[in-house]
Structure 1
Amino acid sequence: MSLVVIWYALIVLCWVLFFVLEGFDFGVGLLSPLLGRDDHERAAAVRTIGPFWDGNEVWLVAAIGVTFAAFPSWYAALLAGLYLPMVAILLLLAGRGVALEFRGKHSDPRWRRRCDLVLAGCSAGVVLLWGAVLTVFVRGLALDAAGDVTGGGLGRTLTPILTPAALGGALVALVAAVLLGATFLALRTTGPVRRRAALLARRVSLAAAVVALVVAAGSLVTGGPALAAVVAVPLAAIAVLSRRPGTRWEASAFGLTAFAVAAAVVGVLTANGDVVLPSTLSGAWSLTMDEAAATGPALRLISAAAVVVLPGVLVYQAWSYRVFRQRVSSERIAS
């Protein structure tokens, strides 16, 4: 196996970890104002992601950094064609971070409520934009023979995310984030938030399975019926398992949802084979894996660094999830 293939597989791994781990962060941010009926319950929901959200963002940095180092031409084309959506995503991520960090800096309930609304709005915006951007990975950009994105002005960067396919991808991403957040809250809380999250997960799972089949069958995101089954079956299984609620169901539901999201991301990034970015102008101008890759010496150099850094990050994250594995109480305890 060549270094080019190995590094592309690592990029896929980084994106999978980002969308799964940050997916439940975004989902919790979306759902905390809806499932929490008062400040205490909303705070309990937010505390479930408090120790993890900034560490989960590391995988976005890793995915973009590895793309820049290992596949610079791919990185350049994506940024040239999608710089406004990418800037918007970064600003929304910053807004989410501010809301999470500043929520507990003031005891005023109105202040916390406003932070919760900012958190929900920024989480929803990031999810919708990423869903639209992921469709571009499959459908491509207007690349010319030199590998440059044609066109100018706002249309060059906004048109790719305003197509029917991109809007469908945004909808699917929103449903996935809601389901990830609901199953995570059911697994990580006690009391009323846990009950409401489990009920929401059971109701959304079957709808999510139907959406996954429809979108894949219509070639909006993956265009592959085999992948549609891989994504839809786990979601339908959650609805079936919901007849036996409890701790085992909650763990299974979250695991199946995470598997479905991971399968969808893998499908998007491998839908075109060795073509990493199709050209909408001519198939001959599409950017392939070998054409986008860095030189052999550069790949060998970053491989040496990855052998040291990547295992350490994985071990640290696994350790942090083990340390903060206890459920967060959302019920009020009488004093």
Structure 2
Amino acid sequence: MDLATVWFLAIAVLWTGYFILEGFDFGVGMLLPVLGRRDVDRRVMINAIGPVWDGNEVWVITAGGAMFAAFPAWYATAFSGFYLPLLLILLALIVRGVAFEYRGKGDTDRWRAWWDRAIFWGSAVPAFLWGLVFANIVRGMPVDADEILRAGLLSLLNPYALLGGLTTLSLFVLHGALFLTLKTGQPVRARARTAALRAAVVAVPAGAVFLVWTQLAHGKAWTWPVVAAAAAALVAGVLLALRGSEGRSFACTAAAIGLASVTLFGSLFPAVLPSTLDPAYDLTVANASSAPYTLTVMSWVAVVFLPVVLGYQAWSYWVFRKRVTREQIEPVPAYGGGGGQGSGPASAAE
């Protein structure tokens, strides 16, 4: 296996980690106006992801950086061709991050309501658009001989890509709801369980149709078992949620997202961006990669620093593993003096 293939696999792992970890973050953000009937419950939800949401976003930064360094042609063509949806994703993530930090800096319901809307849309927009972008990458785009992607916005809004967006949106809502059942106390925990079962009504059929469509149109022979395993994990997650097995149901939806990502990247390989104009114009692992020296240097850097990053993130999840309850939320949210929102253990999210 050459280094270009190794880095394709590494990038696939980075994106998979991002979808699994940031997926439940997005789900919690989208559920904020649904489950948080009172401000104290919304604060419970935000504090549940408060210690980890910004660390989860490191995965997408690393994935984008790895694409830029290992496959510059792939990075340049994809990021220029998908400029508008990626710009919207970036703006949404910025607004979402600002909302987490500024929500607790004012002491009025109107102030918090505006930032709650920002968290909702800052979660919903990327959740949908990531599915749309990756579905279009797997489907193929009109890449010409000069490695220029000649496509307008309307060409991105095809039925397969829209289904991909609906799949990621609904799957992240389900994943986020199950995370809340695992990480919060009552009454948010009970409401999250109900929301998970309702989200499954959309996520299960949408995910099943999207995976089968992907397999029939673009898949390889070896990805059939992966598709079957992803579908089984998704259904198992819902059944376990019905039984109240919170940890295992969350693990199953994480596995379903991971296996769905394997299906997408497996369907791509050895291409990284297929051309719908002519297969000869496909960007592949071989013709889109950097020089061997660059890949070698990157590999040594990854060997040294990747275990450190993974270890730190695992440690942070372990430290903040306990449930967040109403009793842990200070009763008087205020900006400034004692008893304010900014003085709790997860104040970074507030």
TM-score band (shorter)?
A: over 0.9
- Equivalent residue of 1:57, what SS? helix
| Structure 1: distance between partners of 2:330 and 2:268 | 58
**Cα distance, 1:284–1:333 mapped onto 2, change above 3 Å:** closer
Query: Under a length normalisation based on structure 1, what TM-score does the superposition of the two structures give?
Result: 0.92
Letter of the 2:238 partner, please give it.
A
Give the superposition deviation at 1:284: 1.7
**SS of match in other structure, 1:88:** helix
Query: Per-residue deviation at 1:242?
Result: 3.4
2:34 maps to 1:39 = no
Change (3 A) 1:221 1:253: farther
> 5+ unaligned residues in a row in structure 1: which ranges?
151-155
Q: How does 1:246-285 map to 2 (within 5 A)?
A: 249-285=245-281
Q: What amino acid is the match of 1:119?
A: I
- CA deviation string 1:274-324 (max 9, x = no partner): 011100101121111011110011111111211122111101100000010
CA distance in 2, matches of 1:232, 1:100: 34
1:199 matched to 2:199: no
C-alpha separation between the residues in 2 aligned to 1:294 and 1:112? 47
C-alpha separation between the residues in 1 aligned to 2:240 and 2:228? 18
- Equivalent of residue 184 in structure 2, options 161, 186, 189: 189
Give the counterpart letter for 2:241 in structure 1.
S
The amino acid of 1:29's aligned partner reads: G
Structure 1 position 2, deviation (Å): 1.4
Cα distance in 2 for residues equivalent to 1:20 and 1:279: 28
More displaced 10-residue stretch of structure 1: 230-239 or 87-96: 230-239
Distance in 2 (CA, whole Å) between partners of 1:240 and 1:222 is 29
Query: 2: distance between equivalents of 1:46 and 1:216?
Result: 31
Look up the match of 2:228.
229
SS at match of 2:147: coil
Aligned residues: 327
Structure-1 separation of matches of 2:289 and 2:25: 32
201-210 or 46-55, which moves further after superposition?
A: 201-210
Partners of 2:46 and 2:218 in 1: how far apart? 36
What is the one-letter code of the residue matched to 2:206? V
Q: 1:180 to 1:307 in 2, by over 3 A?
A: same
Of 158, 163, 167, which aligns to 1:163?
158
CA distance in 1, matches of 2:276, 2:25: 34
The alpha-carbon deviation at position 207 of structure 1 amounts to 4.2
CA distance in 1, matches of 2:225, 2:175: 22
Partners of 1:212 and 1:231 within 8 A in 2: no
Offset at 1:228?
3.3
Q: Distance in 1 between matches of 2:329 and 2:89?
A: 39
Q: Does 1:212 align with 2:207?
A: yes
Q: Supply the distance in 2 between the matched residues of 1:301 and 1:242 (Cα, whole angstroms).
A: 45
Contact 2:214/2:264 (<8 A) preserved = no
CA contact (8 A) 1:190 1:328 kept: yes
After superposition, give the CA deviation of every residue in 1:241-261 in whole Å (9 maximum; x if it has no partner): 23421xxx1001110001101
Looking at structure 2, the residues matched to 20 and 160 of structure 1 have their Cα atoms a distance apart, in angstroms, of 28
Q: CA RMSD in A?
A: 2.0
Extract unaligned runs of 5+ from structure 2. Answer: 332-350
The alpha carbon displacement at 1:139 in A equals: 1.1
Residues 242 and 28 of structure 1: CA distance in aligned 2, closer, same or farther (over 3 Å): closer
State the SS of the aligned residue for 1:276. Answer: strand
The letter for the 1-side match of 2:188 is V
Q: Is 1:289 paired with 2:285?
A: yes
Q: In 1, Cα distance between the equivalents of 2:216 and 2:273?
A: 14
Give TM-score scaled by structure 2 length: 0.89
Q: 104-113 or 211-220: which moved more?
A: 211-220
CA distance in 1, matches of 2:215, 2:22: 23
The 1:147/1:216 distance shift into structure 2, 3 A limit, reads: same
Q: Secondary structure at the match of 1:292?
A: coil
Q: Report the equivalent of 2:344.
A: none
Work out the CA distance in 1 between the residues paired with 2:319 and 2:114: 30
Preserved CA contact (<8 Å) 2:30 2:121: yes
Aligned partner of 1:305 in structure 2 is 301
Runs of 4+ in 1 over 6 A off after TM superposition: 331-335
Q: Does the 8 A contact of 1:206 with 1:235 survive in 2?
A: no
Larger mean CA deviation between 299-308 and 65-74 belongs to 299-308
Does 10-19 or 195-204 show the bigger shift? 195-204
**Matches of residues 48-67 of structure 1 in structure 2 within 5 Å?**
48-67=48-67
1:326 aligns with: 322
Percent identical among aligned pairs is 44
Residue 173 of structure 1 aligns with an amino acid whose one-letter code is T
Partners in 1 of 2:90 and 2:132 — Cα distance?
15
Aligned residues of 2:171 and 2:207 also touching (Cα < 8 A):
no
What corresponds to 1:153 in structure 2?
none
Code of the residue aligned with 2:28 in structure 1: it is V
User: 1:135 touches 1:221 (CA, 8 Å); kept in 2?
Assistant: no
Task: Give the deviation of 1:197 after TM superposition.
Answer: 0.6
Give the drift of 1:264: 0.9
CA distance in 1, matches of 2:185, 2:216: 36
Aligned-partner Cα distance in 2 for 1:262–1:22: 12
